[in-house]
Amino acid sequence: MMSEQSPLQQKNKRLFLRLLGLAGGMTLFAFALVPLYDVFCDLTGINGKTAGQVQASANMQVDESRTITLSFIAIKPADIKASFKPRVSQMEIKPGKIYETDFYVENNTDKDVVLQAVPSIAPGIVALFLHKTECFCFNQQPLAAGEGKWLPLRFFLDTEFPTENEELTLQYTLYDISATTTTTEVETGN
């Protein structure tokens, strides 16, 4: 004959089920956090995320009355054996005018690699006003052993750029994605 559970055992069982439910909820929240964060960044422009590639309008008006200082920074983790640098570290730009520059990357290993640059803009609140019409960050960059090349960047600053901001920074962080990318994916652009 089976005895009934004591009140303490019943309390412990309820506590265990609550803790199990809490752990499950935290796990689900962790998986949902990344897409929610991306949506939040897209909506607010915080963390320097931009909307991606855009087309420049033929009838854009250049705001000659304003000059904005744009700084360029190239970062790579210490474990990536590559050189990565901007052609210029700073530009004086006018809202509404299209500018071009580039970044140099060189594979300093004896094997082929695939690199990807991820942009960030500071202050994040102005990220939505910097538009890239061409950027090496839109694509993966396959490099043969010892290969180096200049990667193009073409952009403009929206004429609605906040007047209280007179400078911004465009930073690219370089990642080696060779282990997660196949040669076929790079060739086909998938």
pLDDT of residue 2 exceeding 90, the answer is: no
At 100, list the tokens. Answer: 């071009």
Of all residues in the chain, the percent with pLDDT exceeding 90 is 57
pTM to 2 decimal places: 0.67
Q: Does the pLDDT at position 45 exceed 60? A: no
Determine the residue type at 136: F
Cα–Cα distance, 164 to 181 (Å, whole number): 42
Give the list of residues 6+ apart from residue 177 with CB closer than 8 angstroms, or none. 114, 115, 116, 140
- Which tops the pLDDT comparison, 104 or 48? 104
Cβ pair 184, 114 in contact under 8 A: no
- For the residues 84-99, what does the mean pLDDT come to? 96
CB 48 within 8 A of CB 119: yes
Alpha carbon distances (Å) from 19 to 6, 8, 22, 31, 159: 20, 16, 5, 19, 53
CA–centroid distance for 69 within its chain: 21
pLDDT at 10 over 70: yes
Per residue in 139-175, pLDDT tens? 999 999 999 999 999 999 999 999 999 999 999 999 9
Residue 42 reports pLDDT greater than 90: no
Across all residues in the chain, what is the average pLDDT? Answer: 84
